[in-house]
Structure 1
Amino acid sequence: MSQLETAVARTPREALAAYHRAMLDKSADDLADLYAPDALHEFPFTAPGFPPRYEGREAVRAGYRAVWGASPVRIDEVRTVSSYETADPEVIVAEHVVVGTIPADASFAVPGLLVLRVRDGLITHVRDYMDTAALAAARG
């Protein structure tokens, strides 16, 4: 099956599961390949050193390569707290907790909320609400 056929078959819930897998693998390529070429990924709660948005698939790829490539953090689990399908069949809302470790055996848990819009099997818009205080604490 081609990437386009896979994308067309992907529901918002399947896109969310693939998004979480990419996070676990810290794979910027797998994550970016979930996005439409002109997708928008927004971070409403910005933190120092993080941009407020990525515009386009390749910006997502470059941004996550930089962040995940420079980070010694290991993501051990993405716990889904809850997920909701909305009245809009393209949208899913998911609350999760990213659990991981950093060198010297320190652990962390960072809560977040994702709002994903998936059209024709590709993510077209993400609003990524991370707990920036927990993220900053995890990064040291």
Structure 2
Amino acid sequence: MSETLSPREVFLKLLEGITTGRFTELAQLYAEDAVVETVFQPVGPRRFEGRAVLAERFHEVGVQTPLELRASNVVVRETDDPEVVVAEFDYHVLHRTTGRSFESANVQILRVRDGLIVHSRDYHDHLALAVAGGNLPQLVAALEDK
């Protein structure tokens, strides 16, 4: 019988999968009915429900992303709820298309049950990502159309 991963270990496995570009493996870290909220996403969906939806989303990101991500300053804080961790970290980002590099601050709050993520609230710097990709005008236009 294999040992169930702790919430800290699950987060670290998630971060490793993202930074090594193994996006197709990430959905395996989530429960069948998991919910992921990308709280500061300026346009588009901010809530994803279910492992199948997440698998599709991770596949799209894996195919489309021009970003190379390297994590640093990783701090995982355990809470008084044994299922919940709060992770703070920075990404050193290289945008392969534009050649721009920058740092992006991130916070994720994960609820992990039986070794699987059941809920995640993700706070990423989407504005910095838009600027680095040269997509700020499109972002502003999308926000004006709201």
- TM superposition score normalised by structure 2: 0.83
Answering whether residue 81 of structure 2 is matched by residue 85 of structure 1, we say no
User: How large is the Cα RMSD of the aligned pairs?
Assistant: 1.6
The one of 78, 81, 94 aligned to 2:87 = 94
Contact 1:80 1:94 in 2 (8 A): no
Distance 1:131 1:71, change over 3 A: same
Structure 1 stretches of 4+ with a deviation exceeding 4 A read none
The one of 2, 19, 43 aligned to 1:24 = 19
Q: Match for residue 41 of structure 2?
A: 46
**Letter matched to residue 82 of structure 1:** V
- TM superposition score normalised by structure 1: 0.86
**Between the two proteins, what is the percent identity of the paired residues?**
38
Cα deviation, 1:96-135, whole Å, max 9, x if unaligned, reads 1111212253212111100000000100000001112112
- What is the CA–CA distance in structure 2 between the aligned matches of 1:74 and 1:134, rounded to whole Å? 14
Rg: which structure is higher?
2
Contact 1:94 1:114 in 2 (8 A): yes
Q: Match for residue 49 of structure 2?
A: 55
Q: Match for residue 139 of structure 2?
A: none
Q: Deviation of residue 83 (structure 1)?
A: 2.0
Tell me the number of residue pairs that the alignment of Structure 1 and Structure 2 aligns.
133
Q: Deviation of residue 9 (structure 1)?
A: 1.3
Instruction: Return 5+ residue gaps in structure 1 as ranges.
Output: none
